[in-house]
């Protein structure tokens, strides 16, 4: 039995959870927020109770010390001593072309993550901070990197190459990388279990729909196409991201005085559901406004659903045979009405939703397609932390690298 610490380190936050493996039982989880700001906070929840503390948290080293203190708290902690942790698993956003699976962290891995940080400047440096602090705290314990991009390294050139001069790929590594890979992998494996099928004869389209959103085509267990690209901006309309856009729009706006920084902010933080609706990036607020007659909110919801259907259709064409559609993520799991909007016009692809089942299921795990539907529709809550814990356990104490 091993206790695995899962860490997702951001620039001003540190999210963590401890799993007992191989059983996959969560012993508790916590979040440190506002690191480096005027006042920080840690909140941890276990079966024994809640640990909360507000104080100045100047850097990630101090944040990790707070994590140790909370995890070993005599009243509500999940550990007696930090030495009980057998290994740590880290979410790392970008592995570039170097990693197609999770790996044991060594100096070469750290160097590579640093080298590809220019592809994920907001995430990889923060992920590295988490790795370094965990190495310091858990002296000598195995550390494993689980990459968001790794699952998509099986994309063929036809899917990952852009129609740009070859030198941009060869010199600058501009290509589709894809993200949310850990989530897509987790729900794909769970779908096979629910359907009692083997990956060897099963094709899936997994829809991770949240504030960030992506769709992946999975052929016999391998990702062969995904909607996010060189960055997480490409693809679906998201909470605040524009998704697919004619690049000439940017040139047009630059000629009218918008700077590169202006456009970066607009496309990543002011567009998507927020920009279209003028209401919020929270789908619950937009649904409420739409129900009250707000035309812009109604249009935003239809654009969102249309774009998802468009990708499902494209991926169905390239997969040739589709066995199941999977919905996950905050919107995919919780928004019953959005699932209905998306599936409403998919009958021509032999995808038949049972709308009564869909409403009854709500946000729980299950199948929401008609029994006669050749293609199943599933709702599966994602659990990236558990997937990271599984990878870490297998690599540190099992059979080596996870494929």
Q: Which residues are catalytic?
A: 148
The string of DSSP letters for 347-375 reads GGGTB-B-HHHHHHHTTSSEE-B-TT-SB
Give the Cα separation of 43 and 48 in Å (integer). 13
Q: Buried (b) or exposed (e) across 71-94, using 16+ Cβ within 10 A? A: bebeebbbbeebeebbbbbbbbbb
Could you tell me which residues come within 8 angstroms of residue 292 by beta carbon, excluding any fewer than 6 positions away? none
Number of CB atoms found within 10 A of residue 58's CB = 12
Q: In the sheet that 324-328 helps form, which strands lie side by side, from edge to edge?
A: 222-226, 213-219, 203-209, 324-328, 376-379, 366-367
Give the Cα separation of 333 and 156 in Å (integer). 29
Burial classification of residue 291, based on how many CB atoms lie within 10 Å of its CB (0-12 exposed, 13-18 middle, 19 or more buried): exposed
């Amino acid at each position: 039995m091993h206790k695995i610490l899962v860490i997702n380190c951001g620039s001003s936050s540190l999210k963590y959870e401890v799993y007992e493996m191989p059983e996959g039982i969560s012993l508790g989880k916590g979040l440190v927020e506002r690191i480096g700001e005027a006042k920080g906070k840690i909140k941890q929840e276990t079966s024994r109770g809640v640990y909360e503390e507000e104080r100045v948290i100047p850097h990630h080293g101090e944040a990790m010390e707070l994590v140790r203190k909370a995890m070993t708290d005599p009243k509500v902690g999940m550990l007696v001593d930090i030495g009980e942790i057998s290994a740590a698993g880290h979410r790392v956003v970008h592995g570039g072309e170097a990693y197609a699976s999770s790996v044991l962290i060594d100096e070469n891995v750290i160097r590579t993550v640093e080298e590809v940080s220019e592809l994920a400047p907001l995430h990889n440096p923060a992920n590295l901070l988490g790795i370094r602090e965990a190495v310091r705290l858990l002296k000598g314990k195995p550390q494993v990197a689980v990459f968001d991009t790794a699952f998509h390294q099986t994309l063929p050139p036809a899917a990952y190459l852009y129609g740009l001069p070859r030198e941009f790929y060869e010199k600058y590594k501009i290509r589709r990388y894809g993200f949310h890979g850990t989530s897509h992998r987790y729900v794909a494996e769970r779908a096979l279990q629910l359907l009692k099928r083997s990956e060897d004869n099963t094709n899936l389209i997994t829809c991770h729909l949240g504030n960030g959103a992506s769709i992946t085509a999975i052929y016999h267990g391998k990702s062969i196409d995904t909607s996010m690209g060189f960055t997480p901006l490409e693809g679906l309309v998201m909470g605040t991201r524009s998704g697919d856009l004619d690049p000439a729009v940017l040139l047009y706006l630059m000629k009218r005085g918008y700077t590169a920084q202006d456009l970066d902010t607009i496309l990543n933080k002011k567009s998507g559901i927020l920009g279209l609706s003028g209401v919020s990036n929270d789908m619950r607020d937009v649904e409420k406004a739409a129900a009250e007659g707000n035309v812009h909110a109604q249009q935003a919801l239809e654009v969102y659903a249309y774009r998802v259907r468009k990708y499902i259709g494209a991926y169905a064409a390239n997969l040739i045979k589709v066995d199941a559609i999977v919905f996950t993520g905050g919107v995919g799991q919780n928004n019953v009405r959005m699932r209905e909007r998306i599936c409403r016009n998919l009958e021509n692809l032999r995808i038949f939703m049972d709308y009564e089942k869909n409403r009854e299921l709500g946000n729980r795990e299950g199948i929401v397609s008609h029994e006669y539907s050749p293609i199943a529709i599933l709702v599966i809550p994602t659990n990236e932390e558990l997937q990271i814990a599984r990878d870490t356990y297998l690599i540190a104490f099992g059979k080596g690298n996870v494929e």
